[in-house]
């Protein structure tokens, strides 16, 4: 815990000494998630995200975020005898490094960084004809590590982002499941 407090204090001190710009805002949007699984057919699930972000810096910036999101996936076996739907409610915490260019009223951004996701809730729905081998399907981990990369635009206090998120760790060892998603969000900077 001391390391985290020291890191946060150091980051704030560097930003203040560099007279860096600071922004704080809210964001919300839609995501299209998919859980890739070995030997299963997958399809995309539409979800939401809503939360807070801060931005420290000018041309180069650091952007920590915290938001709730809804993700998941749908699966069928190649023969069509089994189907499943999985839904998650997550707390996601990305730490993005970015570069911005443009004017104050029209600013374009590129960003990338790690994301930690904690599973707050899950629901699973399996078809009635699930056999014993598939019945062990839903052993999902409580947290995962991934990455995000994307771009955005700021028009005055309005901000919009399009990002890809890839899973670096498996969300479940059953069938080698990794979660990936595309997210589109719109936000408002308070200052």
Does residue 162 lie in a domain region? Answer: yes
pLDDT of 86 > 50? The answer is yes
User: Quick one: which of 82, 76, 171, 86 has its CA closest to 135?
Assistant: 82
Give the range of the structural domain holding residue 172, as residue numbers without chain letter: 29-176
Answer yes or no: is 1 within a domain: no
DSSP string for residues in 29-71: EEEEEEEE-TTEEEE-EEEEEEEEEEEEESSEEEEEEEEEEEE
CB atoms within 10 A of CB 15: 16
**Which pair of tokens denotes residue 154?**
């700021």
Let me know if residue 186 belongs to a domain: no
Q: Is residue 16 part of a domain?
A: no
The domain tally of the chain equals 1
Full-model pTM:
0.81
Q: Mean pLDDT highest for which of 26-40, 148-162, 174-188?
A: 148-162
pLDDT in tens, 105-151: 899 999 999 999 999 998 877 765 555 445 556 678 889 999 999 99
The tokens of 16 are what?
A: 């203040």
CATH number for position 99: 2.40.160
- Mean pLDDT (whole number) for 7-23: 60
Residue 150 is encoded by which pair of tokens?
């994307």
Structural domain contains residue 83:
yes
Question: Is residue 7 domain-resident?
Answer: no
Q: What is the pLDDT of residue 16?
A: 47
Looking at per-residue confidence, does 152 or 177 come out higher? 152
129 domain-assigned: yes
Does residue 3 belong to any structural domain of this protein? no
């Amino acid at each position: 815990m001391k390391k985290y407090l020291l890191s946060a204090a150091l980051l704030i001190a560097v930003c203040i000494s560099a007279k860096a710009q600071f922004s704080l805002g809210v964001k919300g949007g839609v995501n299209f998630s998919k859980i890739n699984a070995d030997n299963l057919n997958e399809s995309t699930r539409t979800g939401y995200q809503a939360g807070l972000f801060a931005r420290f810096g000018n041309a180069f910036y650091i952007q920590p975020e915290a938001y709730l999101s809804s993700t998941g996936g749908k699966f069928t076996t190649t023969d069509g005898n089994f189907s499943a739907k999985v839904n998650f409610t997550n707390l996601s915490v990305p730490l993005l490094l970015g570069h911005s260019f443009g004017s104050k009223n029209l600013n374009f951004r590129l960003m990338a960084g790690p994301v930690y996701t904690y599973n707050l809730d899950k629901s699973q729905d399996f078809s009635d004809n699930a056999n014993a081998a598939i019945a062990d399907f839903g052993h999902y981990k409580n947290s995962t590590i991934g990455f995000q990369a994307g771009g955005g635009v700021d028009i005055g206090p309005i901000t919009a982002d399009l990002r890809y998120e890839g899973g670096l760790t498996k969300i479940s060892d059953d069938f080698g499941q990794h979660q990936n998603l595309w997210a589109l969000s719109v936000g408002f900077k308070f200052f």
